[in-house]
Amino acid sequence: MPKRFVAIWFRHLITDWLIIRKPELLHQPFILAAPDHGRMMITAASAAAQAQGIFVGMVLADARAIVPALQVFNDKPGLAEQLLKALCKWCIRYTPVAATDLPDGLILDASGCAHLWGGEQPYLQEIITRLKAFGYHVRVAIADTIGTAWAIARYGRVTCIIKSGEQATALLPLPPAALRLEPDLLERLQKLGLYQVGSFINMPRSALRRRFGQALLDRMDQALGREEEVIDPLLPILPYQERLPCLEPILTATGIEIALQRLLEALCSRLQQKSKGLRTAVLKAYRVDGKIEQVEIGTNRASHNARHLFKLFENKIPAIEPALGIELFILEAPHVEEVSPQQETLWTGGCGLESITLAQLTDRLAGKTGAYSIRRYLPVQHYWPERSITPTASMLEKPATPWRTDHPRPMLLLREPEPVEVSAPIPDYPPMLFTYKGKLHYIKKADGPERIEREWWLEEGPHRDYYAVEDQEGRRYWLFRSGHYDMNKPHCWYIHGFFA
């Protein structure tokens, strides 16, 4: 497939943006200015101001002498870059590869995209019409190379399609500035009377290199396609991504579901061919008004089962607001993992942690209650209860040590032990009663003590004597006394967990 690039030039980027925000400025001469070496210099001028002789780089005082009623606004550093990034994200609906071209342009890799709009002419016309509707004055061109598209957009006609292989012919009548040359190099070419690219493009390369340096040859080669030039896309292109443009804007939840099913089927088919499954997926819906709606799902284990993944998205579809309509859907899988052939056999059955059915269940529960509402813990090699377990995000991770079963452990372990008040303590015995959060509990049964020493290689401090106790209402708690029993010191008792 031949490469095709689109260059978009915003002729009055910042001033158009200001007019969009303040429509009353449409026919008024105004400029943006910023301080430079003690003087206010013009950084952007509206079309009405330029028509009266105001230009970028002029001193503000001189401009006011020409147009006394000139309106002045303070320029904001980085404003052009912010605007171009926002416009670049909007252009993702036309191609997955879009990049900013400071200070006032965008570059789109349109390879294989134009046919979705019926050809290159309607493709470019759609871009121009939409951007003009927003309020931007643009010039657009498409060619085999970035350099030629850039040159034609700025120095050619408003909308121009350069046929494949005709870069040289298109560049001949343009000025040297169309090759994106440095100012000093342009000045040297002008002094020699080389006012068009055609004046020197066929000169011997050795002579051009000797007089003008390698930079001129590099720019010529890039524009003619002799040297490949790549762009740095604003958003990285994920290897597993599917796009679905819509012939008519989608306004209903049913339409969104149909689009999602098609995307999932295409994406899961690719993943299955590569023996991979996704762990996270993002559905982006590009609205007609330029806004992007987005929902995301996650799985406990890699999956390429379209039906299961659709069920996870199904609960989130109501959160997508179509407004005036959605014109493009993009489904991305930013995190994928290998799926073994053994896992495929588990779709029809299986039990335990390796069961696909269990993974599906936890995915659906997490989709309804939140990803952090379901947790799995594994034992680790520590005696201290707070350190004896660790959370894990995978259903397949194996424990490094077996669970302790020689002593009872609570179903719910507090993050930090909480103090309780006890009465009638007896040395090496549990208390007769204790008060926790203002409620008095009479102990009817108790088991213990179980002494757990502090890990001296990590920290110093007293040991703990744990008791499993049951109160008069049948509720069971895990209490401990910190340190040895001492008649001359207060007794420090804590609650650390709750049994089922």
Tokens of 388: 């004896």
pLDDT at 347: 45
CB atoms within 10 A of CB 463: 13
CA pair distance 353, 63, nearest whole angstrom:
75
The matching CATH number, chosen from 3.40.190.10, 3.40.50.150, 3.30.70.20, 3.30.1490.100, for 241-366 is: 3.30.1490.100
The partner residues of 293 in beta bridges, in order of sequence, read 285
pLDDT at 162: 93
The matching CATH number, chosen from 3.50.70.10, 3.30.420.40, 3.30.870.10, 3.30.70.270, for 1-237 is: 3.30.70.270
**Domain locations in the chain as residue ranges:** 1-237, 241-366, 412-498
Residue 326 near residue 291, CB atoms below 8 Å: no
Q: pLDDT tens string for the chain (500 positions)?
A: 689 999 999 999 999 999 999 999 998 999 999 998 889 999 999 999 999 999 999 999 999 999 998 999 999 889 999 999 999 999 998 998 999 999 999 999 999 888 888 899 999 999 999 999 999 999 999 999 999 999 999 998 766 899 999 999 999 999 999 999 999 999 999 999 999 999 999 999 999 999 999 999 999 999 999 999 988 899 888 889 999 988 889 999 999 999 999 999 999 999 999 989 999 999 999 998 888 999 999 888 888 999 989 989 988 899 999 999 999 999 999 999 988 655 444 444 445 555 666 666 777 777 676 666 677 778 888 878 888 877 776 666 777 788 777 788 888 889 889 999 987 667 778 888 999 999 999 999 998 889 998 888 888 888 999 999 999 999 999 999 998 877 667 778 999 999 97
Alpha helices in 113-213 (DSSP H): 120-134, 146-155, 167-171, 183-191, 205-212
In the sheet that holds 326-338, the strands lie side by side as 241-250, 326-338, 276-287, 292-303
pLDDT at 348: 46
The partner residues of 468 in beta bridges, in order of sequence, read 447, 478
pTM of the model: 0.66
The partner residues of 34 in beta bridges, in order of sequence, read 41
CA pair distance 16, 23, nearest whole angstrom:
10
CA pair distance 181, 170, nearest whole angstrom:
17
Q: How far is residue 428 CA from its own chain's centroid?
A: 59
Q: β-strands 159-161, 138-143: how paired?
A: parallel
Residue 239 near residue 230, CB atoms below 8 Å: no
CA pair distance 448, 478, nearest whole angstrom:
10
- Which of these, 72, 32, 66, 65, lies nearest to 51 by C-alpha position? 66
In order of 11, 123, 136, 235, the CA distances from 86 in angstroms are: 17, 20, 13, 12
CA pair distance 265, 480, nearest whole angstrom:
56
Length of the chain: 500
Three-class DSSP category at 1: coil
For 177, phi then psi, to 5°, come to -60, -20
Q: How far is residue 281 CA from its own chain's centroid?
A: 12
59: DSSP letter: B
pLDDT at 159: 65
